[in-house]
Structures are given as C-alpha cells and as structure tokens.
Structure 1
C-alpha cells in the first residue's frame, strides 16, 4: 500500500537474545515499525476522505471485538441432535434415490450429469434446457424449469435429492467441528 519493500523477518527460535547486536536486523525491525505507523496515518487519512472514521470506530471495531469473543467462546452444539438430523437427511436422500429410480424404471447415478441428461432429454424426451459444452444443463434452475414445464416427477425428485444431500453434508460438517467442550469455534 505504501509502495515500500520490507525485508522479511529473520528466522527466530522464539527466544530473546539479549547479547545480540545485529545492526541490520535492528534496521529491518525499525523499518517495519515505521511502516506500521505510516500505514496507520495513511488509513486514517483515507477513512476521513470517505467519511468512514465514525463507522470504523462505532461499528466495525466493536463488531470485530464481539465476533472474536464469540469465536473464542464458541456456539453450543447438541451433537446428538445434529447426528439425528444427519441421519434424517441421509434417509431422505436415499428415499429420493429410490423414487428417482422408480420414476425412470431403472437405477442410475443421480450425481452424474451425463446420465441425467441421457435420461431427461433422451429417454424421457423432456424439453431441452440451455445448451452447454457437455450437453444440456441439469442445474437447479434447469430442473426447476423442467418441473414447471412438465408433468414428470424426476426433476422434482432430483431437486429434493440435491437439497437434502447438501443439508446432510452441511450438518455432517458441523458435527465434525464440535470441539471437546461441546461447542463450535470458528
């Protein structure tokens, strides 16, 4: 920001060396300290230019302090409830898979866009969606459009499958982040 090149910090073992008298290292540390002061002045000037000094002091800094406390303290998490939710979502995902297979009359990989394209636009003859490099899109918007345009249940089942799978993965991730104190620290 200041257009200065600072020397990298010297490797340290973490111990203070009271007998050290390295002038080059001292000069590098002084340059870094001066850069911090100059950055403070530059940022203060810029904040005044955009009338954001009050916002920084009244909103941003207090909020960042509060967020740091929240992250350190963590959010209480009910592991058993989250694991129960994960199982529920997994069951809903499996049910959507079974229903999708039944709607098509055979098993297929719901996670394969290529197989889904072949089924939707080839076997079922549903209206084609936006053309992509690899065929026709089967993203959420396209599936929602197909669900609205046709009577076939597969687009609705695919949307449900994707939604529930995403929720399951999200809850699974939360369970993995619960610390020994039963809280999630971000």
Structure 2
C-alpha cells in the first residue's frame, strides 16, 4: 500500500451545496487542495474552501479536512459555476450572472469578491424576471441560458454583453 496517499475527511456543511469547482493554486500544482462552491439556500453563498491539516487526527482519522475560508453572499440560487481562469469564476444565479474573483494575496486570507455583475440578463416578454439556468465559459466568452429561452454571450475582458440570441426554443410561444 502506498504510504504517501493523502487522506481526506468529509465534513458536515450546514447548507445545500449544489455546484463545486476546483481552484488551482499555481500552474505547477499537482494536487487539488482548494475549491469553490455555490449553494441554494435562503442565503445563497459562494464559498472558497481549503484543505487544512486536521490537528485532532489520529491514526484512524484522516489527515486533512475542508474548511471554508471566505464567503460571498449573492442574489438568487446558484444554478451554474464555471471557471474563467485561475482566479475568476462565472456564476449564474437568479436572473443574473456574476464574475467572482479570488484574491491570491499571500499575507491575507484568500477573499472572494464580486468583480462584475450582469443583472436582469433574462426576462420574459411580459417584463418579469426569468431565471438564469446555466453558464458556460470558452476562452474569454461567457454564455448564459435562461428560462426565457434566450442565450446571452458576454465578454469577460470587456464585461459587456456581445450578443443576445432570442427565441432559441422555437417550439414554445412565450407570450
């Protein structure tokens, strides 16, 4: 048996996490020890987690446990979470899409911050808000899909909506 295996302990979390992505510490990193999560609760949170040494571990228990080190509260249930680059993530929630950044500072805790927000991306023809159901990232382009049947393409660099494709579902009349 390989003695160099890292043992990870599971942890109880008092919220419903429904999206999760690994975070790279560096380009040369071989093991994943950080991740970001999104929840769908009354207070919808995005959290940055680190695997930390379990100071209470013995020979039976595992060596590392996940610990949330930073939290950002956002509007609406997290419906999508995708990586843009090493420190930036696109998060769909409610009728919006938010770009969340991780501050990689060495002297302070890694902190999450909202670097851009695109509110009310999705609306029904009646003007009512529609949920942003998902997000996808390719290079610097971010696409969102909503329950209104629209696809929005956003530039992460310019932080502007490049194009909107209406009526992607031609079989349904939304009026």
TM-score where L is the length of structure 1? 0.17
Bigger share in strand: 2
Larger radius of gyration: 1
- Which structure shows the higher helix fraction? 1
Higher relative contact order (CA 8 A, sep 6+): 1
**TM, length-normalised to structure 2:** 0.18
